[in-house]
Structure 1
């Protein structure tokens, strides 16, 4: 019997979740409850549309030429894609068989033997590290930081090309000592080839309201240019290239 995946949505020509033009698959379900999440409608593991691997692959193949020409591929994101590791493994195998590169966008919180197998097929991991201070991380996400750091260690052990993503939220993740600690920590990972600092935005605020969730960042502003450049400057001390 085919493995079934629950998918929130797909984006056929994404350009921000990895290199080149990408077919982006937003998987349903997430164990984190990030205060700044712009896709809270992906949290519920019982929602979404069911896909078989054949059904999803048929959609992906339609865009193969665009991905190949641009150096792109498929990105599995969410939600947390590794909650559905069996499905992601099957899709990753099929993508690689078609010569399509695979990126996994993850918080690094979920880990298992199946996840290890998924990572064997990953050309790129986009690892979202929400904060480096364990207390702040727990406040931001509702879960512990340690699993993410262990996941990061595993990418180094297996020499998996990894990009780090850090969402900058004024009053929440702008603790500069934590940013300095993370920048220093990342110096120890030669497999990290890029850092992306993503400015907080409120485009998903309406989803929280529609779902009846309490949105704690209602009065939070987007980071100004001075703060953004200060945080980028700290990350540059790691010696790892920054996006933009």
Structure 2
């Protein structure tokens, strides 16, 4: 199979263990070689249309092994940067039935930031994310102070996309690109779920999208000043 797909045997192993997904071109090669009547191509098409019920488990497993994360968000502070108060306010607003358990799990994910060699975090946030008083003035001020503290870590690169940037590709929704030792995966968020992106070409497209959004973002120091200004506005 590796010979048919012109790849290493380890790549086939990743497919078998669910760490990678069959690409359209690969499916077409297998269909032709094995005369399947387009079976693999049809299955890939259906798989792309459906919601993966295990998306969150798979995502957090990649996140825990991350060497680098690129993250754009236009709605919420990313989970790795959330304070307990901010996270609790979000979970309460979502009428979460297992709030305390989910809060502990969310906070536990942040342990990767304190590893001996933490992942590099490249984060772009829309200004609208940081000017919504989630949890009230006290909670959001604490959250913004936490953002400032994290932004001063050598492994964190935080920039704000100002409202003055106008229309940009980030308005289509939040997404992430996670780099692990074996390669890169993407994650595109959606209401009540999300989708892992394992196809190389699509992940490359997400990275280009991140760079284009970054082209209209404020520099790091200007981003910090904007966060400080917003902190002062909450009383």
TM-score (norm 1): 0.33
Q: Rg larger in 1 or in 2?
A: 2
TM-score (norm 2): 0.34
Greater strand fraction, Structure 1 or Structure 2: 1
Higher relative contact order (CA 8 A, sep 6+): 2
